[in-house]
Structure 1
Amino acid sequence: MDLEQIKQLLNDSLDLSDIQVKAEGSHLEIVAVSESFAGQRSLKRQQAIYAPLMDMIADGTIHAVAIKAFTEEEYRKHKLLNF
């Protein structure tokens, strides 16, 4: 599983200002930042991130995904609180 490929796939599908992807085996941790998440509940944000990954989830390349999705303002606050 190529992390750069996953980042590119997510960037191509979503209007992201920042994307971080970490992997441990077939388990991913994704932090995605986009203004397109404004006004969306957490579930909608996660669905938007899952959608472009569905083929890799279906074929077993990706087994589990932990997602944190923020607007830019939320991400700045998150970074301040978790320094």
Structure 2
Amino acid sequence: MKAAFPDAEVAIEALANDNDHFKAVVTSAAFQGKSRVQQHQMVYAALQGKMGGDLHALMLQTVAKD
């Protein structure tokens, strides 16, 4: 994730004790001017295919940093 968003602040929280369900808040200047859908697509691309594999469920919040 840091390779794709070097300035990112990432907070991750487990939502269950199964190592599959997480909540993530990602804050980055790279999200400026992007729609929420585009921001989420950027994060999923940075996860390089881990969604649906290593990660079963991710509640994602993105924030554009000034």
Unaligned runs of 5+ in 2: none
Task: Kindly indicate which of the two structures has a greater share of residues assigned to helix.
Answer: 1
TM-score for the superposition, normalised by structure 2: 0.77
Q: Which has the larger radius of gyration?
A: 1
The higher relative CO (CA closer than 8 Å, separation ≥ 6) is in 2
Cα RMSD after superposing both structures: 1.7
Whether 1:20 aligns to 2:18 is no
Number of equivalent positions: 63
TM-score for the superposition, normalised by structure 1: 0.64
Unaligned runs of 5+ in 1: 1-9, 74-83
Counterpart of 2:59 in structure 1: which amino acid?
Answer: A
Q: Aligned partners of 1:51 and 1:17: how far apart in 2?
A: 15
Task: Kindly indicate which of the two structures has a greater share of residues assigned to strand.
Answer: 2
